[in-house]
Chains A and B, each alone.
Chain A
Amino acid sequence: MSALHYIILQVTGPSIFNTASPEARKIGWLGNGFLIAGTAMMLLVIILTVRFTLRYRAKENDAEPPQTKGSHKMELLMVGVPLVLVIFFFFWSLRTMSAVMPGRTGDQQPDVIITGHQWWWQADYTASHFSTANEIHLPVGKRILLKLDAADVIHDWWVPALGAKMDMIPGRDNYLWIDIDKPGIYQGACSEFCGEQHAWMRIRVVAQEPAEYQKWLAEQSANAEQPADSLARLGEALFEKASCSNCHSIRGTGAKGDIGPDLTHFARRQTMLSGMEDNTPENVYQWLLDPQKVKTGARMPRFIFNRDSLMALTAYLSQLK
């Protein structure tokens, strides 16, 4: 472990060196190897520069130094050593690449299809027939195949602790393998500039033990429950009447839109607006009041709701467990 690596671990939280998957670890080792070789080269240049600067500074009335013009032996060395180094890293890189990104064999089906939208993530769990958004649950200890698509412009999936990033390109299917070692919450972000709210297109991967994950899958595939209190019921009616349902789905109700995020179990998510805010009733209220003020440019238009309607919608959404 190189010194720089150590410092990074000490002063920061998660980074590309603070890994939670074998893929990320292999890349981390390669990164470390490169850091060591790079630091050695860097030190060589710094030492030579500093030494020559001090040693060969002109003194007054110096005569012209000997006019040497080069040396083929030296030139051979100057090319040879870096060449050997890059060849070494080339082969190390080849090995890592085939470990991190093996091709897809046959007709392996992806476990989760993730689609980048301006500016949120849609996650389709095809086998369990449901769709959710932004907070992506995955099981630990299993090799997972993600299929990465884009709905509008190019986005990019990147969770540093889990390894490589991969672009999501309209009109192309990209795939990415992920193994996760330990349960936890891993942050990531869209890493290809995708417009105004590129900054708030953060990823939250929730890695769970298999049993817990199965439980989550079961909960998520269930339909939304009927609201218990009257205010929330009012909100449910409003959700359909005020055309929210044209864009959003809430399974078990008439809302079947597929433009915006699926909200069936919205209240179970810890954050909203792709990691921009905590998921609290107050934040939901502010968002419904004026989406453009909260997240400028977002596709959700401003509906002119009165206070009562806002309260009802907030109550409804906040009980969608």
Chain B
Amino acid sequence: MEIDHLHIPEPHESLPDLSINDNQGLLQWISSVDHKQIGIMYLWLAVLFLMVGGVEILLVRIQLAVPRNHFLSPEMYDQLFTMHGTTMIFFVLMPAIFGFASYFVPLMIGANDMAFPRMNAFSFWATFFGGSLLYFSYLAGGAPDAGWFNYAPINQYNYSSSPGIDYYCSGLLLAGIGTVSASVNFIVTILKYRVKSMDLKQMPLFVWMILINSFLVLAAFPSLNAALVMLLLDRQLHAHFFSAAGGGSAILWQHLFWLFGHPEVYILILPVFGIFSEIFPVYSRKPIFGYGFVVGSGIAIALLAFGVWVHHMFATGLGNTVNNFFAASSLLIGVPTGVKIFNWLATMYHGSIRFSVAMMFSVAFLIEFTIGGLSGISFAIVPIDWQLTDTYYVVAHLHYVFIGGSLFGLLAGLFYWFPKMSGKMLDEKLGRWFFWLFVIGFNLTFLVQHLLGAMGMPRRVYTYPDLPGWGILNFISSGGGFLMAIAVGLLVYIIIKSNVKGEKADADPWDANTLEWTVSSPPGLKNFDRVIPVKSTRPYRDYKRPDDADWKREN
């Protein structure tokens, strides 16, 4: 019998089309081990899940628009808010960060690919199939319905008998394997594959943050993975790790989950700090204010991140001694996090600021993230936490951090790096429309939720009584949600339109500082034939302005 050998297409160009023929197109994307193509696939995965997670929450916001609404059944509501949170964290923010990291870390350090290109592809596909597995639960009898942090014992079989939570466990385990392998890949790439002349102190801040972040992932994910396996054992084999009735402990789940969960919050924000630390200097035409300080506070955050998890559990009755310790650590971690705001402000100070959409998102971030950061500090003050934890105030807080922080950073990164990735400019004029729609919608949605929390509205309720002020504030919040949805629709349109017939981008449209801008837009399949000398944190600027190079001015 003759064997048909499977033909694995070799890529010839960096952005093959999506047609299906035997040596390029879709098959080439699927079989790709090129870090740039994998990065782009990560980003599209994030966009896809952003739309799915967005539709889920729109349904939730319709349900909450008026008191005592019957638009969704409580069962459906629980599945939707659970899937929304899980999707946005694990399948939107994570892949978007990994997408930018996979695309730009090698380019920024003068490498031609990741250290382990095939493992890079594996990481992406593990994430992809993890997400698919999670969503398969809808077809298998019901999505998970115990919230994204899935507390015990409501995650146990006798309280949630649909297979949703089993899919939650296996989907997140699979995606988690992808995340951990990607982090190993980043660490080795950054430590071992930098161009010879670049030492650690000259690394772009985005690369620094990805390095720190990868260690955070390696330390945090084992706790989640262990908890997920224990939960699967509970549900499938009637172990009772988390069931008090069988001698287990419900609180144990919370410890294991938040020992992962709080570092996870920093995993979602540190890379974005890196993106901002690239963008502020470029658009202000100044070096970052306090390079060493930004790196140092990043490391401080990473270390402290593992000592703050109990601030999610101040209301569980662990006693004042335990609570005090974690209050102190949580207040402390606020300092290196918050101070960075002033680093970026000081970078703008006496600058020559160009307001492209990327910079607009960065400036808006300064204010939005300060709101989220300050409300975060209020949870480290234990008595305030006792009043406000598990209310809409938390919902407002976490969205100011995840949207006003993480997502704004990713959007800024998108407008900044899109020309490099696609060779086309991302439409700046429509981009401004998108910016204003999104920022206004975002603040309408979440600003009022601070009040709702203070007025006594718990989170995760499928409806609420018609108490004074509750109806109108929720209605405003829902309206803002729809504005955000329109904005996201516009963004997808802008991306597709710019991809097809956008203005052609130069290699260096922003007069930027780092190595990725020294190659063509989009870069060729092989990133570099030769790399310009790296003697400071802004090698490309040094190259463009040899008389005023940073390394000449130093010391």
Contacts and interface: CB of A to CB of B under 8 A. Distances in A.
B168 to A, nearest CB: 15
A153 B315 contact: no
A214 interface: no
B78 A196 contact: yes
Contacts of B348: 52-53, 56
A79 B340 CA distance: 10
Given A45-B367, A153-B159, A53 B381 contact: no
B284 A56 contact: yes
A196 B75 contact: yes
The 10 closest A-B pairs by CB, nearest first: A171-B244, A164-B386, A199-B461, A174-B317, A70-B290, A86-B331, A170-B244, A193-B460, A196-B74, A191-B390
A315 interface: no
Contacts of B339: 78-79, 82
B387 A34 contact: no
Contacts, number: 276
Given A53-B363, A86-B332, A193-B154, A27 B387 contact: yes
B387 A169 contact: no
Give the interface size bracket for B toward A.
35 or more
Contacts of A14: 455-456
Given A34-B384, A58-B285, A79-B339, A41 B353 contact: no
B386 A163 contact: yes
B464 A30 contact: no
Kindly name the residue among A13, A52, A65, A148 whose own CB sees the greatest number of chain B CB atoms within 10 A: A52
Given A71-B290, A97-B320, A174-B317, 20 more contacts: A30-B384, A34-B377, A38-B378, A52-B348, A65-B286, A65-B351, A68-B287, A78-B343, A82-B335, A82-B338, A82-B339, A153-B151, A170-B250, A171-B245, A191-B315, A191-B459, A193-B154, A195-B78, A199-B74, A199-B461
Contacts of B457: 189
A169 B548 contact: no
25 contacts: A11-B451, A12-B455, A13-B467, A14-B456, A16-B456, A38-B374, A48-B345, A53-B353, A56-B348, A56-B350, A56-B351, A65-B284, A65-B285, A78-B342, A78-B343, A86-B331, A93-B381, A100-B383, A158-B390, A170-B244, A188-B456, A189-B456, A191-B315, A193-B154, A198-B462
B550 interface: yes
Interface string A61-103: 0111111111100110011001100110110111011101101
Interface string A144-175: 00001000111010101001111101111011
Contacts of A187: 456, 467
B319 to A, nearest CB: 8
B354 interface: yes
Contacts of A97: 320, 323-324, 382-383
Contacts of A13: 455, 467-469
A266 interface: no
Interface in B91-139: none
A198 B82 CA distance: 14
A17 B455 CA distance: 8
A249 B284 CA distance: 73
B509 interface: no
A27 B383 contact: yes
Interface in B362-395: 363, 366-367, 370-371, 374-375, 377-378, 380-384, 386-391
B465 interface: yes
Contacts of B291: 69-70
Interface string A181-211: 0000001111111111111101000000000
B492 interface: no
B7 interface: no
B328 interface: yes
A41 B374 contact: yes
B236 interface: no
B352 A65 contact: yes
Nearest to B155: A153
Interface string B467-500: 1110000000000000000000000000000000
A31 interface: yes
A256 interface: no
A15 interface: yes
A16 B367 CA distance: 26
B316 interface: yes
Contacts of A190: 458
A75 B290 contact: yes
Contact of A160 (B315, B332, B387, B460): B387
Contacts of A101: 320, 386
A57 B355 contact: yes
B299 interface: no
A42 B386 contact: no
Contacts of B323: 97
A169 B251 contact: yes
Contacts of B380: 86
A19 B49 CA distance: 43
B346 interface: yes
A143 to B, nearest CB: 18
Contact of B75 (A52, A199, A202, A296): A296
Contacts of A17: 454
A279 B394 CA distance: 33
Contacts of B327: 90, 93
B469 A11 contact: yes
Given A52-B345, A153-B153, A96 B383 contact: yes
Contacts of B289: 68-71, 74
Contacts of B338: 82
Nearest to B249: A171
Contacts of B383: 26-27, 30, 93, 96-97, 100, 164
B315 A164 contact: yes
B334 interface: yes
Given A154-B154, A193-B146, A52 B458 contact: no
Interface string B231-267: 0000000000000110001110000000000000000
Nearest to B317: A174
A188 B319 CA distance: 23
A71 B458 CA distance: 45
B526 to A, nearest CB: 33
Interface in B488-523: none
Given A12-B451, A27-B383, A164-B383, A152 B349 contact: no
Nearest to B364: A49
A199 B370 CA distance: 31
A8 interface: yes
A59 B353 CA distance: 9
Interface string B140-158: 0000001100011110000
B345 A45 contact: yes
A252 interface: no
A171 B352 CA distance: 62
B162 interface: no
A93 B330 CA distance: 13
Kindly name the residue among A38, A48, A158, A191 whose own CB sees the greatest number of chain B CB atoms within 10 A: A191
B303 to A, nearest CB: 16
B3 to A, nearest CB: 56
A275 interface: yes
Given A46-B367, A97-B382, A8 B350 contact: no
B73 interface: yes
B251 A172 contact: yes
Given A8-B454, A16-B388, A97-B323, A67 B287 contact: yes
Nearest to A16: B387
A156 B390 contact: yes
A82 B333 CA distance: 11
B553 interface: yes
Contacts of B343: 78
